Amino acid sequence: MFDTIVIATDGSASVRRAVTVALDLAERFDADVHALYVIDAGDVETAPERLRSEMREALTERGEEALADVRAETERNVTIAVREGRPAAEISTYAREVDSDVVAMGTRGRHGENRFLIGSVAERVVRTCPVPVLTVRQLESGTTDPLLGDESA
């Protein structure tokens, strides 16, 4: 059913559960796993020009750390990619490029704390991605997570 799974991560704590669910699916279906981090070009472009290079470097480093976290969660081979652009568009493009069967992502990320139901990037991906999108919500703080076997942070 699933041969290729793309995990879109921004390294936030709210993505942790989505990573766990996606890796469980990959294990069950013996699927290839791709982890993707997108540097939001808007974040870079809004920085003062003299700081853009440093900002891009810092965001690339953050992305590499987020992708390393995904790799650390599994013994499976994980193909990683860091892209720069509009996150929703880059996620959709990457999913097409690797012929993904599903994209897994959290519903709220680094910028989503003020969103009521679903983060703006997740919402755009759900509306525009050419492949199915599995959104995994973060549980309320203090709730026991049956997938992770611990209390949600």
- What one-character-per-residue DSSP string does 57-77 give? HHHHHHHHHHHHHHHHT-SS-
Query: Which residues have a Cβ under 8 Å from the Cβ of 111 and sit 6 or more positions away?
Result: 119, 120, 121
SS3 content of the chain, % helix, strand, coil (to 5): 45, 25, 35
Domain ranges of the chain: 4-139
pLDDT-based confidence at residue 116 (cuts at 50, 70, 90): very low
Which CATH architecture group holds 4-139?
3-Layer(aba) Sandwich (3.40)
> According to the model, what pLDDT value does residue 107 have?
87
**What pLDDT, in 10s, does the model give residues 23-55?**
999 999 999 999 999 999 988 999 999 999 999
- Looking at 60-69, 91-100, 113-122, 133-142, which range is the least confident one? 113-122
- Whether the CB-CB separation of 2 and 31 falls below 8 Å is answered with yes
